[in-house]
Amino acid sequence: MLVTGGAHRVGGAISRHLAALGARVHVAYHASADDARRLVDGLPHGGRAYASNLVAADGAERLLAACAADGEPPDAVVHAAASFLARPIAQTTAADWDRVFALNTRAFFLLARGFAARHGVAEGGETGGGDANGGGGGDAPGRDAERDLSLVAIADSGALELWTGYAAHCVSKAALLPLVQVLAKSLAPAVRVNAVIPGPVLPEPDSEPGQVEAMRRRTLLQRVGEPEDVAAAVAYLLVNRFCTATLLEVTGGAHLWRGDLGREGEATES
Ligand SMILES: NC(=O)c1ccc[n+]([C@@H]2O[C@H](COP(=O)([O-])OP(=O)(O)OC[C@H]3O[C@@H](n4cnc5c(N)ncnc54)[C@H](OP(=O)(O)O)[C@@H]3O)[C@@H](O)[C@H]2O)c1
């Protein structure tokens, strides 16, 4: 399996959780090379760390090609890499918008497209003509129909809550949801495509105590979750072979927050 943004924080929890369940997990990192190498070195079934820049248009293809070149083509990809841009609408530039969408949304599309091609899956879920070890097309044999191929996108409850101070982030994560579903339709039955929509599970290191308190209050369960809650949801979607096009909220109920429930602190955005 391959986890983008898998070196640390929530992605790290996903990598460790899947490895503990028996998977050989590869981690794609951007800046956190040391964290990535340390993490894969400690995994029970080994794994490799891959440098990647998924903002770049060719980042997804380069990453999949690097895995294939090592004889490690993933049968599942979890896209946890993301930008979390806090920026009011008036200050959000075109470059900000493009960068956030490139990583949060487009990279998942490009990973899915490349993954399908490398596994010989054409639109409509038809198989044959690809090669999990090489590229799509050519004379390569078709894929093993029994092999479970799966993609999981990590969205964000901001996709549903729509925080005005994080417009590019929220809209890019919202766009992931129909993207997951159109990919699920397009690649079925060969590839399952699902999403986890986490609520607050691991505040940014520089979060103010008041911000964390506001996150807590926005959940129905009145607490912030744990990265492992997200990791367990990812594992569920990877294991359950009847799940595709599933959008699984793991938010403590925060996705129902609308800021008007009348409890102190709920009108605060972050
Ligand atoms: N934390 C939460 O409470 C929470 C809540 C809801 C949803 N989520 C979602 O869960 C996922 C992980 O959250 P997090 O808080 O752990 O995220 P994070 O700390 O912001 O980490 C972002 C990850 O994205 C990677 N990344 C950044 N730029 C990249 C690029 N150009 N190319 C490739 N990778 C790049 C980073 O890799 P390097 O460190 O190697 O640069 C890092 O691993 C995200 O999708 C996030 O939106 C998190």
Q: Give the residue extent of every domain in the chain.
A: 2-205+227-256
232 Rama class: left (phi>0) / alpha (psi -120 to 50) / beta: alpha
Query: Would the pTM count as exceeding 0.85?
Result: yes
In this prediction, residue 33 carries a pLDDT of 98
The protein residue with its alpha carbon nearest to ligand 1, atom 8, reads 156
Q: Which long-range contacts (CB under 8 A, 24 or more apart) does 101-104 make?
A: 101/168, 101/172, 101/175, 102/54, 102/55, 102/56, 102/57, 103/54, 103/55, 104/169, 104/172, 104/173, 104/176
In this prediction, residue 131 carries a pLDDT of 45
What distance in angstroms lies between residue 229's CA and the mean position of ligand 1's atoms?
16
For the chain, list the strands marked E by DSSP.
2-4, 26-29, 49-51, 76-79, 149-154, 191-198, 247-250
Q: What are 28's two structure tokens? A: 């794609």
For residue 198, the ligand 1 atom closest to its alpha carbon is 6
Beta bridge partners of 51: 29
Q: Name 148's Cβ contacts closer than 8 Å, sequence gap at least 6.
A: 75, 76, 192, 241
User: Could you tell me which CATH class the domain 2-205+227-256 is placed in?
Assistant: alpha beta
In this prediction, residue 32 carries a pLDDT of 98
Local structure of residue 105 (DSSP, 8 states): I
Tens digit of each residue's pLDDT, the chain (270 residues): 999 999 999 999 999 999 999 999 999 999 999 999 999 999 999 999 999 999 999 999 999 999 999 999 999 999 999 999 999 999 999 999 999 999 999 999 999 999 999 999 998 887 765 444 444 433 334 456 678 999 999 999 999 999 999 999 999 999 999 999 999 999 999 999 999 999 999 999 999 999 999 999 999 999 999 999 999 999 999 999 999 999 999 999 998 876 654 444 444 444
Q: What are 167's two structure tokens? A: 């417009």
The protein residue with its alpha carbon nearest to ligand 1, atom 36, reads 5
Is residue 27 within 8 Å of 6, Cβ to Cβ? yes
Ligand 1 environment, Cβ below 6 A: 4-5, 7, 9-11, 29-32, 52-55, 80-82, 84, 103, 154, 156, 198, 200-202
> Which residue of 4, 8, 10 sits with most ligand 1 atoms within 8 Å of its CB, as the best mutation to test the pocket?
10
| CA atoms of 57 and 103, how far apart (whole Å) | 10
